[in-house]
């Protein structure tokens, strides 16, 4: 069976793809695993509205009853946000075949969203922050599948850098090894999710979405393959104080180690503890940076569509 037999494209998304109009893929893990209800539902709705405001079509992606849905109905968003129908799994590349064959419900991570977007013919994807090399990966080999997906799947990912709970320097080194282009929007420094500064220089700087789109167009025209990471720093007014967020991260990491939390449970645990330790400030910053990424992704998608036509 062809891949298309597993896909359900929302009519609006299918029409936009066929017409060469700008489309922005959105992940669903932020709904089911990233935030509590009802903030998760409100965030998902707001993200789609922002993409529309910027002249593109939103395509939130999830696995619903064993179908890859590209573009969700309101009922699908609510289902993911509340999880009342049963467990909503967290899907990465390795999980897709099992979840589809068993007709499960799942939210897509960065890696899985990239794959599903590529299957549908979508080139632009907005998220919060990508996964990367975990601290202590030299001992436990904990490296996100997001990185290898960026090396193989031709989708551009707009994020606020790498989640700051990770080893940012090692992540950038690994992306370089994989040959993944990394550009930072309007900054000479790579961002650190909650803050605009990580202490690591930007591998490349671009100052506007039109230039970013032109680089994407050239990259794929050359047949270089794979994806591109576009790091979009959190707006200054929503950035957290570096010392405050670092204290919270350090404490959350220590608790994670003490409780021997591993695998897919690490990131949700850390983000939840950081939210508590910062009295909700990290969640607010997280929401704002995701909105900013969606707006930028839509702008780049518009320019890319113009170049492609």
Among positive and negative, which fits the CA dihedral 299, 303, 306, 309? negative
Exactly one of 27, 48, 54, 149 is catalytic; name it. Answer: 27
Which one is catalytic: 123, 163, 275, 281?
A: 163
Contact 233, 191 (CB under 8 A): yes
73 flagged as catalytic: no
Nearest to 113 by CA among 39, 23, 16: 23
Instruction: Output the CA–CA distances (angstroms, integers) from residue 87 to 41, 62, 99, 191, in the order listed.
Output: 17, 13, 12, 34
Query: What does residue 174 show for φ and ψ, rounded to 5 degrees?
Result: -70, -40
Residue whose token pair is 């193989």 = 152
> What are residue 161's DSSP bridge partners?
192
Q: Which residues contact 123 (CB under 8 A, 6 or more apart)?
A: 117, 154, 155, 156, 216, 220, 301, 304
Tokens of 236: 């200054």
Cα separation, 253 vs 251, in Å, equals 5
> Which segments of the chain does DSSP mark as H helices, in order?
11-19, 29, 39-53, 74-82, 96-101, 110-120, 137-140, 145-152, 168-178, 209-221, 242-258, 266-277, 281-308
Q: Is 257 a catalytic residue?
A: no
- 3-state SS assignment for residue 130: strand
CA angle centred on 28, ends 8 and 195, rounded to 5°: 145
* 80/67 Cα distance (integer angstroms): 14
Catalytic residue positions, numbered: 27, 163
């Amino acid at each position: 069976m062809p891949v298309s037999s597993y896909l359900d494209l929302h009519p609006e998304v299918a029409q936009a793809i066929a017409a060469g109009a700008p489309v922005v893929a959105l992940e669903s893990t932020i709904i089911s695993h990233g935030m509590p209800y009802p903030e998760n539902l409100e965030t998902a709705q707001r993200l789609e509205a922002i993409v529309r405001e910027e002249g593109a079509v939103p395509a939130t992606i999830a696995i619903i009853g064993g179908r890859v849905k590209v573009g969700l109905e309101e009922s699908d968003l609510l289902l993911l946000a509340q999880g009342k129908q049963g467990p909503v799994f967290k899907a990465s590349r390795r999980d897709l075949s099992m979840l589809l064959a068993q007709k499960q419900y799942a939210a897509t991570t960065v890696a899985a969203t990239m794959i599903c977007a590529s299957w549908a013919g979508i080139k632009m994807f907005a998220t919060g922050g990508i996964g990367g090399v975990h601290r202590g990966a030299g001992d436990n080999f904990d490296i996100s599948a997001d990185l290898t997906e960026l090396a193989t799947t031709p989708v551009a990912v707009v994020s606020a850098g790498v989640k700051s709970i990770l080893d940012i320097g090692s992540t950038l080194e690994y992306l370089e090894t994989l040959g993944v282009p990394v550009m930072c929007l309007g900054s000479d420094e790579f961002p650190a999710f909650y803050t605009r500064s990580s202490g690591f220089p930007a591998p490349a700087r671009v100052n506007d979405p039109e230039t970013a789109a032109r680089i994407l167009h050239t990259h794929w025209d050359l047949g270089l393959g794979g994806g591109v990471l576009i790091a979009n720093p959190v707006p200054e007014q929503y950035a957290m104080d570096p010392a405050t967020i670092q204290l919270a991260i350090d404490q959350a990491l220590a608790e994670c180690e003490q409780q021997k939390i591993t695998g897919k449970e690490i990131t949700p645990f850390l983000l939840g503890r950081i939210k508590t330790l910062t009295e909700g400030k990290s969640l607010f910053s997280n929401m704002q940076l995701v909105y900013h990424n969606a707006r930028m992704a839509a702008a780049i998608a518009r320019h890319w569509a113009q170049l492609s036509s």
